[in-house]
Each structure stands twice: as C-alpha cells, then as structure tokens.
Amino acid sequence: MSGSGRNESGRVEAFSDGVFAIAITLLILEIKVPEVQGHESLWHALGHQWPSYAAYVVSFLVIGIMWVNHHQVFSYVVRVDRTLMFLNLVLLLVVAAVPWPTAMLAAYLREPGTSHVAAAVYSIVMVAMALSFQALWWHLTRTGHLFDDLVDNAAARRTRARFALGSLAYPAAVGLSFVSAPLTLAAHGVIAVYYGFNQVPVPTRERADGDGDGDETDTGTL
C-alpha cells in the first residue's frame, strides 16, 4: 500500500465529505421563517410548516446515513482508479440534488394530485442514489484491488445481496408515491433508519501473528 494511494483515497473522501456537508446544510435553508397572518399565532404558523420539518428530517437521515456508509467503505480504500472516481462523482451528483426534491415535496405534500408527482420525483432521486452507491460498491468488490490488504474481498463480494432490499424498496416507493405522498415520505424514513443500523459490511481478515506474515483468518463483518 503506497503512500500516494492513501493520499488519493483521502482526497476523494475529503472532497466527498465537502459535498455531503453542503447538501445536508442546504436542507435547513429551505425551511423559512413563517409569516404570521392577521390574528394567527406564531405557534399555529410554525405548526403549519410540518411538511417542511418532516421532509427535512427524512432527507437529513438519508444523506447522513449515506455519508456514514460512504465513510465506512472508504476507510478501507487505499487506492483509487478513474472508474471509482467517476462512480463517486455520480453518487455525489445525486447527493447534491437531494435538497431540491426535498423542498418540492415539502411544498406540495398536502396538495392533492401534485403531491403524488412531487413524491415520485423524490423517490426517483432516491432510486438514483441507491443505484449509484451500489455501482460504486460493485466496482470496489469486483477485483478488490483498491481495498486494503486486510479486506476479505471474496466475503465482501458476497455482501452485494445486501443491496437487493434497496433495489426493490426504492422503486416500490415510486409506485407508493401515487397512493400517498406522506406515506411515501415515511417509507423513505424507515428505509434510511434500516440502513443506519445495517451499515455496509466490510469483511476483514486478521493476520495470525499480527506482524503482517503468516495465515489470515476471517474476523467477520464490521
């Protein structure tokens, strides 16, 4: 593992962290200070904005948990290639876009008809995020040449099935969008929490003598 490889991986992760941070910060900027109309109380005006709060929390969870899983993966990546960099850029392209459908869904969540379209667009963005992260993981586990030597790539490759739930759940959310927009938003929150507890597993090996020589044994999944 060369020093230049570590630097390349570190630069990719640092750049990614910046995009995640900006995207997650932009979410709160979409929540405006309510305007009090006539004899309306500020409490009532604040309560009227509940769709903005709900959309903010769900999208914050989505981006935050994606960042955690991204960090988990890149902590074992010691070198990068052009394909990985472009796949990471595609992922960041979607992450940076999340504040837009979040604001749109919050604005139209209570509007009959329009809410379905807003929820569908939101769900499509989540499908794109899931697919882009899955593509990144599949590339990393294809040969394992970008991983630290401690990673058990054969075991890591078997974890690809973990993405099956997301591949089914997110497209299902697109269909659910045309049934109920609030329920669709809640479903995305549940999916985000699931991936928060079920982080991307990176199976590693432990060197038997602890000094870099000798047999390696599987330590399980992180």
Residue 201 pLDDT grade (very low, low, confident, very high; cuts 50, 70, 90): low
Instruction: Check whether 219 has a pLDDT greater than 80.
Output: no
Mean pLDDT of the chain: 85
pLDDT score of 25: 96
- The angle at the Cα of 94, spanning 108 to 173, to the nearest 5 degrees, equals 50
Whole-angstrom Cα distance, residue 20 to residue 93? 10
**For 82-100, what is each residue's pLDDT tens digit?**
999 999 999 999 999 999 9
- The angle at the Cα of 124, spanning 99 to 110, to the nearest 5 degrees, equals 65
**For 158-185, what is each residue's pLDDT tens digit?**
777 776 667 788 999 999 999 999 999 9
Listed by start position, the domains of the chain span: 3-220
Do 24 and 70 contact (CB within 8 A), yes or no?
no
The residue ranking higher by pLDDT, 169 or 205, is: 169
| SS3 state of residue 104 | helix
Structure tokens at 137: 């993981």
**For 8-47, what is each residue's pLDDT tens digit?**
788 899 999 999 999 999 999 988 888 888 778 889 888 9
Instruction: Check whether 77 has a pLDDT greater than 80.
Output: yes
Instruction: Check whether 220 has a pLDDT greater than 60.
Output: no
Residue whose entry in the numeric block shows the structure tokens 């939101």: 122
Do 147 and 156 contact (CB within 8 A), yes or no?
yes
| SS3 state of residue 216 | strand
Residues 6+ apart with CB under 8 A from 19: 92, 95, 96
Instruction: Check whether 203 has a pLDDT greater than 80.
Output: no
Instruction: Check whether 215 has a pLDDT greater than 60.
Output: no
Radius of gyration over every alpha carbon of the chain, rounded to an integer in angstroms: 20
**For 99-149, what is each residue's pLDDT tens digit?**
999 999 999 999 988 999 999 999 999 999 999 999 999 999 988 889 888
Whole-angstrom Cα distance, residue 25 to residue 99? 9
Do 106 and 56 contact (CB within 8 A), yes or no?
yes
